[in-house]
Structure 1
């Protein structure tokens, strides 16, 4: 069995179809009208790629051909797929249940697919060891993840409540190069890896009430006057924030913060709405480190003018935007340094 990385678009724009349809799609725009099953091996895929991109360098053709070959021919029934989610910063894991299918009746970007049984669509990135996150950071649309017993360890995670399971490293000899350019040679998303490292420190140092303290620090850096509820039962009110030196100006915001390792559900969202009314807040902010279940996300449009939701990615984004303005004690607990690096295109 193998483990495959499949991406749902550069910005996660195809995620809804992946999970609604119980499929992974090869969203390769230039091949929307071609049934790729006409290719019987890697060389056949490469020939189609050369016809489609006659002016591209050989190395790039080889890279792209390897990705399409992996999806169409190399993936087998029973293999597992991982899909890093852009929408909520988690990782979805599923089992392949069908061979490659081409359906010309589907919308152009959804004609190439494999059926998948999703085992968990919201595994927190913090549940994965750093070396696995490094492999999952490969900047490719499709590739096999083989390094460090990745498949064995993720299967073990599924039996351990999706928490990391130590697995002794296996000593192996030199492996012949795969035409699919395996994950140990793929470029990686350094920005995402840096954010994973930041996330790991945050969850270690700011778990529980500490997460509310971190959110309060961000709001203060944005210019709000705040009140932080003491540790303990808070009835859905972790932070109150408002504009003005004394906090008497608008907007008046009621904030609920969840740092647990499961996505927030609708009852918690409803609790925030009730808390907003009890303190006469005209707006709310719901921060959930592990993201939100679909029951919450369905409510977002109807509450658009009243409530905002932040997942892990959103909180880290706001933290980085306002880092220089954070309280010095927070900066000491979470020391960060800005660096510059080359921006690589997604393959």
Structure 2
């Protein structure tokens, strides 16, 4: 099992729809070329992004293509997903479906995945600072992979507080152990 963050828009514009309809939604409104599932490689997605956003530079195009590739091909049913809400709360769900292209949907709502929202009101104060910092990335789609993140997100999905880093006690001991001098 893996854990991911999928944001619901720069200003939370897809948040309500995502939570109400059990969806993960990514924007990239100008990607109207259809189903990205047919773009089986990152380079294929990069070509679609380049065509839709010709004014963007290669770094931005590469970044967006990587995020879209993760959304379409790397996130799997059964994975956990975190949606940091504009309200300051966090929603945690389990992905239940593959990537879908929804041509009838409004701009910003066409690229989707089904999700079962397990909790939608996790207080950020119940999340340890290292995991909260990881969730703070500016990216739209990214994996939470450090410090036992998937297991910690699983605890949040059960309504429990973040148990913290699995190595926290060992790490803390190295910081607080007094220095021993040779006698």
Normalised to the residue count of structure 2, the TM-score between the two structures is 0.85
Normalised to the residue count of structure 1, the TM-score between the two structures is 0.46
Corresponding position of 1:162: 160
Corresponding position of 1:145: 144
Classify the secondary structure of the residue corresponding to 1:121.
strand
Classify the secondary structure of the residue corresponding to 2:137.
coil
Structure 2: unaligned runs, 5 residues or longer: 169-183
Runs (4+) of structure 1 moved beyond 6 Å?
none
Segment drifting more, 125-134 vs 51-60: 51-60
Corresponding position of 2:4: 4
Q: Any conservation in 1 of the 2:93–2:157 contact (CA below 8 Å)? A: no
Corresponding position of 2:26: 26
For the pair 1:122 / 2:111, whether they are aligned, the reply is no
Corresponding position of 1:54: 54
Return the index of the structure with the highest Cα Rg: 1
Q: Any conservation in 2 of the 1:32–1:109 contact (CA below 8 Å)? A: no
For the pair 1:89 / 2:88, whether they are aligned, the reply is yes
Q: Any conservation in 1 of the 2:31–2:48 contact (CA below 8 Å)? A: no
Alpha-carbon offset, residue 33 of structure 1: 4.6
Distance 2:22 2:140 in 1: 18
Distance 2:145 2:34 in 1: 30
Cα deviation, 1:142-189, whole Å, max 9, x if unaligned, reads: 111112111111113334x3212144239xxxxxxxxxxxxxxxxxxx
Alpha-carbon offset, residue 42 of structure 1: 1.2
How many aligned residue pairs are there? 168
More relative contact order in 1 or in 2 (CA 8 Å, sep 6+)? Answer: 2
Corresponding position of 1:272: none
Q: Any conservation in 2 of the 1:67–1:141 contact (CA below 8 Å)? A: yes
Q: Any conservation in 1 of the 2:71–2:141 contact (CA below 8 Å)? A: yes
Alpha-carbon offset, residue 118 of structure 1: 0.4
Distance 1:13 1:56 in 2: 22
Q: Any conservation in 1 of the 2:3–2:149 contact (CA below 8 Å)? A: yes
Corresponding position of 2:172: none
Distance 1:107 1:54 in 2: 22
Alpha-carbon offset, residue 34 of structure 1: 2.4
Distance 2:12 2:36 in 1: 24
RMSD of equivalent CA atoms: 1.7
Structure 1: unaligned runs, 5 residues or longer: 171-347
Q: Any conservation in 1 of the 2:144–2:150 contact (CA below 8 Å)? A: yes
Q: Any conservation in 1 of the 2:96–2:114 contact (CA below 8 Å)? A: yes
